Amino acid sequence: MQAMGLFDFLDGIPDDYVPKQRMTAEETEEAFTYLKNHPLFIDHIPEDIENYPELLALQNLQYDDTPVNIAAALLKNANEIMKKDGDKKYFQKKAYEVYSDAIEQDCGDKELMAKLFSNRALISYKQKNYKCAIQDCKWAIENDPKFIKPYFRCAQCLYQILHFTEALKFCNLALEISKEKDIEELKKLILQQIEKQEKKTEEEKKLQQIYAICNQKGIRMGPSKISLPPEYQPQKISLEQANPPILTVPMLVTYPEFKQRDFIQYCSEQTKLYQILAPLFQTPLPWDQDQQYNLNNIECYIELDDGNYAKLNIKAKMLSIMQGYKVTVREFIEILLVCPGTNYYKKQFRSEYHILNDQ
């Protein structure tokens, strides 16, 4: 019996048919491209699907089904789109639309609906549309309270918009379902932010109290014109626990002749200026080679709000200084300390700083 050839299986082709000529390379390539893009052989959804009417027709056929099957098929398609490159906006937009179409089926399958809402929330999260993502996560949880992903994604979104307390709540709910490492790490970050937030709130309360007390004492307060050197940053104006509370202010002592500084952490409002400065002169200043600076041979000046400098009475209490001059007390007080017997004082100081007549 003669073996059957290829054409024996095809109706309407003579048994003795011989093609007149072989296809050219261009024709072969064209045929290959056609078959590769044919709906029967295609292995992916093209970006420009609207240019493939056959594929659109097949895609429409699969939706001629029950809402559950349609939603499941759409979920699969949207997931495939995100697998291509879920970080690109084009694919995010396409997948979001397909997830939304699936959600609109309102299929009644709670687990399926939870996945759809959760996956759509992921796209909103990637696009930093956190409020929409949070809402989708909550709908996902409403459909399937045991589904862990929307809890985690909701906590991530809440973290991004600084709602740390609520983010912690969703983290804890997720951990009740499963002790996932990613959720544990997110919880640590949230707790750190809550601690910072609480500390900031406490500092703001203290500052409001300080402002109120300063106002009662007739002391003006405001933001600092200059920043403290990094090593002095932690020190701020504060209150000593007493009845009534006693104000303590950091003091930056600047020696313009030497371009040097000293920093005194706590200056009580009840202490006289010379008492505050005395510890600085227990030993000679290291940069004062002629040893001309001492407690009995110095003058102190403070910058007023108008930019002029006024000479201070070093026997006055700090409270009198803060009340008696047109000066806004900031995070700290800065004074200039000079020695009237030096050449710098005689020749340079008053030309560098606008000094008012002695008060």
pLDDT in tens, 64-103: 579 999 999 999 998 998 888 878 888 899 999 999 999 9
Give the integer Cα–Cα distance in Å for 72 and 131: 26
pLDDT in tens, 287-305: 999 899 999 999 999 998 8
Distances (CA, A) of 89 to 77, 102, 347: 17, 20, 69
pLDDT in tens, 221-254: 776 666 666 766 656 778 887 788 889 998 999 9
Give the integer Cα–Cα distance in Å for 161 and 171: 15
The answer to whether 152 touches 168, Cβ cutoff 8 Å, is no
Give the integer Cα–Cα distance in Å for 102 and 114: 11
pLDDT in tens, 10-67: 344 344 545 455 667 776 677 666 656 655 556 566 666 666 655 655 555 555 579 9
Tokens of 32: 């290959």
* pTM more than 0.85: no
Give the integer Cα–Cα distance in Å for 96 and 328: 56
The answer to whether 190 touches 171, Cβ cutoff 8 Å, is yes
